[in-house]
Amino acid sequence: MDSDRHHLTTWDRLRAGSVSRRDMLRMLGATGVATVALTRAGGIRAFAQGATPPASPAPPPPPTTGPRPDGTNLWHVKVASMDMTYGIDIQSFLPKEITINAGDAIWFEFLPMGDFHTVTFLSGQPAPPLLMPDTSMAATPAALAPGEAAPPPTLVFNPQIVWPAGGTTYDGTGYLNSGLDVLMQPGTYFVLTFSKPGTYDYTCMPHIAVMHGKVTVQEKGAALPYKQGDYDAMANDQVGALGAATKDEIAKYSNATTTARPDGTTFWDATVGVGGASMGRGQRILPGNLEVKVGDTVRWTNRAIGEPHTVTFVSGGKVPDAEIVEPQSSGPPRIIFPNDVLLPAGGPVYSGTGYFNSGLLGQGFSNFESYELTFVAPGDYIYFCLLHGSPTSGMTAKIKVSPQS
């Protein structure tokens, strides 16, 4: 019944024009829901299971790679890979490097459900910021009472990163961006044609710390060093090597380390996310189950550079929306990063009630890579990462607090 109420509330919010990506993904797999899609034109389309959706053309089939009638080739590069069994996210272009000829095109294939990736050619320009203060009229703060401190600014995903720019032909100049994959409609394929010889670096803007690729464009008609099948094999080798290295990282941090303190309590070192500067990321809280005693302190450290995580206890309460998508009367929607996700909350001592949050942890997203919490009440407590989990799935873990003996 609680689940039913949650989804009814979600539909109300959807109709009102404000819904989170997490709720959209939940609804996709929930009873009574068939399709939820955020369109690039700025609208949300949704209809219940059993209802007749508006008639629309069937999405086009995926592009066909290989030689084309005009003598050019269409190549294939995958954008990231995921292993849900182990919680491993391969944040790499697959293959990482490819050599083609002028006039050829590349189909950059995103993961089916999207994972906040872009294909972005900066052409030597500085990278735009991922998040920026919201300057829209909707974000104008209310008048402050005398002595009242101004709230922190609302942050939004930079529209320059979220939305496509630069077209579908690249000549080595200017800013060209695919847009954010989670906002692409089914049947949308990003195919980019390369018109001039050169060596071109590109990146994924949300994962710019580790996710980079290179396209070498030869003169038209030049001999090609590899076929598509060779690049597919290289991509599989990349996934295998990065996956194996990430499993080793998961094993390395699978147990928390401890330090005894003079007062008889223990300081615990745990982990939220592994991978270091590698392109293989373990989206795991480690250990998944931890037993401590009243008075003990746990420190969680984000060990994946450039990949933000949170440590969040909702104590049975409402889970904040990780991102809010707000359609606008004109133009594309705003994607808001709420402050109750972005910023710390709750203080340093947890007694089993209330909302406690580390805020974003990780280089490039905050000044903090670690979060500490002291536990003062016995109980079994579920916590999770707001960006990659929930109380029941994804990056979630349990801590058992026992009385001091």
329 assigned to some structural domain: yes
Instruction: Give 41's pLDDT tier (boundaries 50, 70, 90).
Output: very low
Residues 182 and 326 in one domain: no
Q: Are residues 288 and 378 in the same domain?
A: yes
Q: Is residue 331 part of a domain?
A: yes
Where in the sequence is the domain holding 41, given as residue range(s)? 2-48
- What does each C-alpha distance from 233 to 182, 248, 326 come to in angstroms? 27, 23, 41
Task: With respect to residue 291, please indicate whether it lies within any of the assigned structural domains.
Answer: yes
262 and 229 share a domain?
no
Average pLDDT for 20-33: 35
Report pLDDT digits (tens) over 239-277: 999 999 999 999 999 999 999 999 999 999 999 999 988
Condensed to tens digits (0 to 9), the pLDDT of residues 177-227 reads 999 998 887 788 999 999 999 999 999 999 999 999 999 999 999 999 999
The pLDDT tens digits of the residues spanning 337-383 come to 888 999 999 999 999 999 999 999 986 666 689 999 999 999 999 99
Confidence of residue 293 (pLDDT cuts 50, 70, 90): very high
Contact criterion met (CB below 8 Å) for 160 and 128: yes
Q: Of 198, 225, 246, at which residue does a domain stop?
A: 246
Q: Is residue 283 part of a domain?
A: yes
DSSP 359-390: --BSTTT-S-SEEEEEE-S-EEEEEEEEEEE-
DSSP code of residue 123? T
Handedness of CA 398, 247, 369, 325 (dihedral sign): negative
The distance in angstroms from the start CA to the end CA of the chain is: 40
280 and 350, same structural domain?
Answer: yes
Is the pLDDT assigned to residue 16 strictly greater than 70?
A: no
Q: What is the DSSP string of 13-72?
A: HHHHT-EEHHHHHHHHTSTTEEEEEE-TTS-EEEEETTS-PPP-PPPPPPPPPEE-TTS-
Return the half-sphere exposure (C-beta side, CA atoms, 13 A cut-off) of residue 20: 17
Q: Are residues 195 and 337 in the same domain?
A: no
**Which amino acid would we find at residue 212?**
H
CATH no. for residue 294? 2.60.40.420
Average pLDDT over the chain reads 84
Cα(188)–Cα(166) distance, rounded to whole angstroms?
17
Roughly what angle, to the nearest 10 degrees, separates helices 21-28 and 2-16?
120
The whole-angstrom separation of Cα 290 and Cα 23 is: 29
25 with 158, same domain? no
Q: Do 29 and 126 sit in the same domain of this protein?
A: no
Q: Do residue 225 and residue 289 come from a single domain?
A: no
Q: Give the domain-ending residue among 212, 246, 280.
A: 246
- Is there a domain that residue 61 lies in? no
Please count the residues of the chain.
Answer: 405
54 located within any domain: no
Q: SS3 for 115?
A: coil
CA dist., res. 110 & res. 115, Å (int): 8
Domain boundary among 202, 221, 246: 246
Is residue 99 located within the same domain as residue 227? Answer: yes
State how far the Cα of 170 lies from the Cα of 123, in Å rounded to an integer.
10
One domain for residues 293 and 220: no
In a domain, 257, yes or no: yes
Please tell me the predicted confidence (pLDDT) of residue 282.
95
DSSP 79: E
In a domain, 80, yes or no: yes
- If asked whether residues 112 and 221 sit together in one domain, one would say yes
- Together in a domain, 303 and 198: no
Burial grade of 52 (CB within 10 A; 0-12, 13-18, 19 or more): exposed
Total structural domains in the chain? 3
CA distance 396 to 283: 10
